[in-house]
Amino acid sequence: MKDRPKITFGIIVLNGEPSPLFDRLVEQFPDTLEVCYGFATEPDRIGHFIAADNMVRIEKPHKPLTGETDANTIEARVIFNSGSEADSYRRRFESYMKLVTPHSPP
């Protein structure tokens, strides 16, 4: 796999439809945002997280959300003022990008 430039934001969309919004944002911010459409054999085991400069928000894995999903379904922990935790999750994200099985959205 070739080296990828450092990105500011990355989104991995698993087993999902292409997002016109994400695609427009990538066109508008090509050096800032990368979106990877991929396939996961066990998507319910994958937790979501957001890593910023010195903050991390970590969600427990959950079933796909619908318009009827109660907001309390999502359990998350937020860590503030920890650049080392944020760096750790950014490295984790980079490793996930290498593990995702790419697919072409239908």
Question: For the chain, which residues make up each domain, given as ranges?
Answer: 9-102
Its sign, for the CA torsion 18, 3, 41, 46, is negative
Summarised one tens digit per residue, pLDDT across range 67-87 is 899 988 889 999 999 989 989
Cα gap 54→20, rounded to integer Å = 30
Residue 83, number of CB atoms within 10 A of its CB: 12
Q: How far apart are the first and last CA of the chain?
A: 24
Its sign, for the CA torsion 40, 69, 60, 35, is positive
Average pLDDT over residues 82-93: 89
State both tokens at 99: 């593990």
What's the chain's average pLDDT?
80
Average pLDDT over residues 19-39: 86
Alpha helices in 35-82 (DSSP H): none
Cα gap 38→15, rounded to integer Å = 6
